[in-house]
Structure 1
Amino acid sequence: MAMNFDPFRELDRVAGALLDRQGPRLMPMDLYRDGDVYVLNADLPGIDPGSVDIDVDGQLLTIRAERTLTSGDGVKWLARERQAGSFLRQLNLGQGIDTDRISASYTNGVLSVTIPVSEKAKPRKIEVTAAPSNSASDTVAISEGEHAQSA
């Protein structure tokens, strides 16, 4: 059986190997809002959960993880496409996030980070109450610390 040589496939393999050695790789992720929390799911198959490091510095969320591949003495690789190395993802959280209550879990190769919205950033209703009318003009009292206005 003859094997066909594909120069583009070989170039892609070499370029990928060179790029992988230049630094941490990005991890594929999904990010969505579910009610009062944001949920980030990142694919990290083969990662030891103990190697995952998540920190928040101001409004910058950083996720780091490390994959190590081991092989015994005398192993002859026939194919080796899974790379050892570090993974990195950084997100600017912006305003309105409760950084003290961020939590994370790792299940079946997926890292899930729950990012709650702060109480101050949640939408709220402002109650408008009408004061009893004691003159020809009506007065409306507005809660939330606003001043009363005459209409």
Structure 2
Amino acid sequence: MATYWDPFQEMDRLFGSLAQTGRSGPPMPMDLFREGDHYVLAVDLPGVDPGSIDVSCEDRTLTIRAERTPRSAEGRWLLRERSSGTMARQLTLGRGLALDQISAGYDDGVLTLTIPVAEEARPRRIEVSHSKKPTEIEAGT
């Protein structure tokens, strides 16, 4: 029976709150999947200035922060559902990831993080050694 190892299994906290003044909205929607020897985390951040995106990793805690500037209107607001302000989300990552090799890109409103599995955590085949000469069996009389 094969055992599936998932370093994200150790996530002890998942913060999906928006740090906004006076109001809250839905968390940053994200997808997470494994692709070969790395994980891909895609976070929806539409309308965010790419210069305001901050991604950091400290002691296995991955923090994503971004800011959406509020739109000013000359007239009177009739409907205002789009959130603005600073958004933040934190993930506690499991062991076995190469945290010093995380890469990030922002395209079409989606922040994509690539998180490699550490070399020592990758599955490997272990060769079994055996003696080269065959064992002789003597027939009894």
- The TM-score normalised by the length of structure 2 is 0.73
Q: Name the SS for the 2:94 alignment partner.
A: coil
Shift of residue 25, structure 1, vs aligned partner: 5.7
Q: Name the SS for the 2:115 alignment partner.
A: strand
CA contact (8 A) 1:24 1:88 kept: no
**What residue in structure 2 maps to residue 53 of structure 1?**
54
In terms of mean alpha carbon deviation, does 92-101 or 23-32 score higher?
23-32
Letter in 2 for 1:37: H
**What residue in structure 2 maps to residue 35 of structure 1?**
36
Larger Rg: 1
**What residue in structure 2 maps to residue 118 of structure 1?**
118
Q: 1:111 to 1:21 in 2, by over 3 A?
A: same
Q: Where does structure 1 lack aligned partners over 5 or more consecutive residues?
A: 1-18, 137-151
Q: Name the SS for the 1:120 alignment partner.
A: helix
**Alpha-carbon deviations, 1:96-130, whole Å to 9, x = none?**
00001101111111111111100000000011222
Aligned-residue Cα RMSD (Å) equals 2.3
| 2:50 is aligned with 1:69 | no
**What residue in structure 2 maps to residue 91 of structure 1?**
91
- Aligned residues between the structures: 117
Structure richer in helix, relative to its length: 1
CA contact (8 A) 1:63 1:88 kept: yes
| 2:127 is aligned with 1:127 | yes
Q: Where does structure 2 lack aligned partners over 5 or more consecutive residues?
A: 1-19, 137-141
Q: Structure 2: how far apart are the matches of 1:121 and 1:34?
A: 15
Letter in 2 for 1:117: V
Q: 1:54 to 1:78 in 2, by over 3 A?
A: same
